[in-house]
């Protein structure tokens, strides 16, 4: 549209009779165009109209200076407004910075507040640690070699207390539980017999429910020679049978009934039989990972 207007200016100025109309029309058009650009805040001195004004000035138009004068005045007003806005913005930023500095000085904690903050932090950390150790994990040290070579003496491991909330122990799981003869102690063994199963030990092999094929046990430390024959367990429906991987040096289900008799927990062999099994409610959790004397995941061992 602006280029078309410049073309019209060129054509009209070729004729002296059209100069008056061009001059008045240009004054009106220039004012409208300036107000439009001012509303959008994109007024440009080097617009195509200035080309037209220079062309008209060269061709002798009288009132062109008046037009430029109006434009200069309007431009100066716009510059003044922008300068005032810039100054006000700078003052606002400075005021915000000074207020922030004042707040920082005012909010500086005292020694008592700092000490109280540390106490709260330490208390929260202790609470979280106790909660996790009490309800989520077990941090255990293995004092004997009953689970060698899977777990060595003095190894440290972490068990997960929530392992059997939505599932049941499986054969082969390494679990931590309350020792049936003395529940103040925690033991760690491998699950061999499941609830309701018949477990038979013959010549160092384990047979489940009179199966002709023995249980495959690749985790045994060595050839099994201690208490390895003519032993039968009928696992109660709410309990599990536990044996150690080091069968020649493990105190497990094979001898807990005899220990219960010796310690006076039972008066007869029949009463003592229940001490051979671990009730499901006495299971604390499943061993997950060994982190001392080698790092090793125990889930598939």
Whether residue 38 contacts residue 31, with contact meaning beta carbons closer than 8 Å, is answered with no
Give yes or no for residue 180 having a pLDDT over 90: yes
| 16 to 22, 122, 217: CA distances (angstroms) | 10, 95, 117
The reported pLDDT for the residue numbered 17 is 42
Range with lowest mean pLDDT among 36-50, 60-74, 246-260, 273-287: 60-74
| Domains defined along the chain, listed by start | 2-80 (no CATH), 133-297 (2.10.109.10)
Angle between helices 19-40 and 64-106 (to 10 degrees): 10
What string of H, E and C letters represents the secondary structure of 27-38? HHHHHHHHHHHH
Q: What is the pTM of this model?
A: 0.63
Catalytic residues: 146, 189
Range with lowest mean pLDDT among 13-22, 85-94, 244-253: 13-22
CA gap 23, 158 in Å, rounded: 95
Asked whether the CA dihedral 120, 125, 128, 133 is positive or negative, the reply is negative
Whether residue 243 contacts residue 192, with contact meaning beta carbons closer than 8 Å, is answered with yes
Residues pairing with 20 in the sheet: none
| 46 to 24, 51, 53, 218: CA distances (angstroms) | 21, 8, 11, 91
pLDDT one-digit tens code per residue, 1-46: 443 444 444 444 444 444 444 455 555 555 555 555 555 544 444 4
């Amino acid at each position: 549209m602006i280029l078309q207007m410049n073309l019209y200016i060129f054509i009209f100025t070729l004729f002296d009779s059209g100069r008056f109309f061009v001059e008045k029309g240009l004054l009106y058009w220039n004012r409208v165009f300036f107000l439009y650009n001012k509303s959008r805040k994109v007024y440009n001195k080097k617009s195509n109209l200035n080309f037209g004004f220079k062309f008209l000035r060269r061709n002798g138009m009288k009132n062109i200076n008046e037009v430029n004068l109006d434009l200069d005045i309007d431009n100066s007003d716009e510059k003044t407004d922008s300068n005032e806005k810039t100054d006000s913005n700078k003052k606002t930023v400075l005021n915000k910075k000074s207020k922030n500095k004042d707040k920082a000085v005012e909010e500086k904690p005292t020694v008592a507040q700092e000490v109280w903050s540390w106490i709260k932090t330490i208390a929260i950390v202790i609470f979280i640690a106790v909660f996790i150790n009490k309800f989520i994990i077990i941090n255990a040290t293995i004092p004997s070699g009953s689970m060698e070579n899977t777990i060595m003496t003095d190894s440290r491991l972490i068990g997960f207390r929530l392992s059997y909330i939505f599932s049941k122990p499986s054969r082969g799981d390494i679990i931590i539980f309350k020792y049936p003869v003395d529940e103040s102690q925690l033991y760690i063994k491998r699950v061999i017999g499941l609830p309701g199963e018949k477990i038979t030990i013959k010549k160092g092999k384990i047979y489940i429910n009179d199966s002709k094929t023995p249980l495959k046990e690749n985790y045994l430390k060595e050839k099994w020679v201690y208490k390895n024959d003519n032993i039968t367990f009928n696992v109660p429906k709410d309990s599990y049978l536990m044996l150690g991987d080091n069968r020649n040096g493990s105190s497990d289900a094979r001898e807990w009934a005899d220990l219960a008799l010796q310690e006076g927990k039972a008066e007869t062999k029949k009463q003592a039989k229940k001490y051979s099994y671990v009730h499901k409610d006495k299971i604390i959790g499943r061993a997950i990972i060994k982190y001392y004397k080698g790092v090793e995941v125990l889930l598939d061992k």
